[in-house]
Amino acid sequence: MTNARAWTLKQRPQGMPAHSDFELKEQPLAPLQDGEVRVGNEWLSVDPYMRGRMNDVKSYVPPFQLGEPMDGGAVGRVIESRADSHKEGDLVQHMLGWRDVATAPAAAFNKLPALGVADHQWLGNLGLPGGTAYWGLMDVLRPEPGQTLFVSAAAGAVGSAVVQIAKAKGLNVIGSAGGADKCAWVKELGADAVIDYKAQPVLKALYEAAPKGIDLYFDNVGGEHLDAAFATGRNNARFAICGLIDAYNTTEPTKLRYLARIIAARITVRGFLFTDYIGRMGEFYGEMGPLVAGGKVTSRETVHDGLDAMPDAFLGLFSGGNMGKMLVRL
Ligand SMILES: NC(=O)c1ccc[n+]([C@@H]2O[C@H](COP(=O)([O-])OP(=O)(O)OC[C@H]3O[C@@H](n4cnc5c(N)ncnc54)[C@H](OP(=O)(O)O)[C@@H]3O)[C@@H](O)[C@H]2O)c1
């Protein structure tokens, strides 16, 4: 192999991104330097946060540079190494995604422990989405058994993990998702009630599912979902703001008609980032590893094949094209 292929951002999207915003480029593979490792990517992740990186604004992750390879979560195997720490065939997780071959100093590639799970789980329940679900629930929301939790985008990568961890912790779980098939899966995962937000107003359905209100809200969406959570939050309810996907492709301000309930109900709202917990990955693997390996926390994947499919997979996140984790298999 003499060339690698990588997706670049050709222009910054306005509103919903289009295929014409992306360009696949070939790059020559330079000989490895001492301490470098080359990895053949096998699984690439697409994640909603990547949309924010397409804007030229200062944020918690730097923006993608126009014309340069984009990056993101990936799992692959070492195909060449000039570092003692990594040998050919090692399975690694890293952040040089959106490309077929990744070359970097060895420290960029995390060797993965042998937990007996499918390789792509390191981008799902044992990766960013699973970690986000776990820490958002266990550290930000700190649930007590018997409490009522509402989680939006419950058929997505983060949401489906939240549903299952929350059930394992003895919570009453209400999940919302778009469409009957997704809702049926969320119910299979153990949710006590499901809301198909495309078929009915979220607020009405949430009142019906939780007549006494909700104690906890894990927000992946914002907008109408967040407003419904404010409306139904019980006294001292706690909200973990994980994502606001409803707002990622619009410049319209979010209208929150029930925001004032934050005062009367003494609602605590806290945003958080997965990266806040990077130093605690050992703890996370210790709890989630056995749950995933033992089948107590299960997953679904929506898989697109081939590097060419990256933009399709990415764009699908914003139209509900995925059940569970959206992945590209190389
Ligand atoms: N804070 C952090 O560190 C962190 C880390 C990872 C992810 N996140 C956030 O967590 C959320 C979920 O991420 P994920 O990776 O698990 O993605 P995901 O839920 O697997 O995929 C996105 C899903 O969002 C739903 N959606 C899209 N647009 C929507 C809208 N306007 N209103 C309602 N639902 C909409 C779609 O499902 P439906 O068909 O059900 O609509 C879609 O399948 C995102 O907001 C993401 O940015 C945050």
Report the distance separating Cα 45 and Cα 68, nearest Å. Answer: 18
Segments of the chain scoring below 70 in pLDDT: none
Report the distance separating Cα 297 and Cα 326, nearest Å. Answer: 17
Residue 235 is predicted with a pLDDT of: 98
| Residue tagged 């495309």 (tokens) | 198
Q: Is this prediction's pTM over 0.95?
A: yes
DSSP notation for 157-215 = HHHHHHHHHHHHTT-EEEEEESSHHHHHHHHHTT-SEEEETTTS-HHHHHHHH-TT-EE
Q: Is the dihedral of CA 44, 46, 47, 52 positive or negative?
A: positive
Residue 252 is predicted with a pLDDT of: 86
Residue 41 is predicted with a pLDDT of: 98
Distance 243 CA to ligand 1 centre (A): 7
Residue 20 is predicted with a pLDDT of: 97
Pocket around ligand 1 at a 6 A CB cut-off = 47-49, 128-129, 132, 153, 155-159, 177-178, 182, 220-221, 242-243, 245-246, 272-274, 317-318, 320, 322, 326
Residue 23 is predicted with a pLDDT of: 98
List pLDDT tens digits, range 177-212.
999 999 999 999 999 999 999 999 999 999 999 999
Report the distance separating Cα 254 and Cα 252, nearest Å. Answer: 6
Residue 326 is predicted with a pLDDT of: 98
| Residue tagged 């003895």 (tokens) | 170
Distance 48 CA to ligand 1 centre (A): 6
| Atom 2, ligand 1: residue with shortest CA distance | 273
Distance 197 CA to ligand 1 centre (A): 14
Residue 216 is predicted with a pLDDT of: 98
List pLDDT tens digits, range 205-218.
999 999 999 999 99
Give the nearest ligand 1 atom to 51 CA: 47
| Atom 32, ligand 1: residue with shortest CA distance | 246
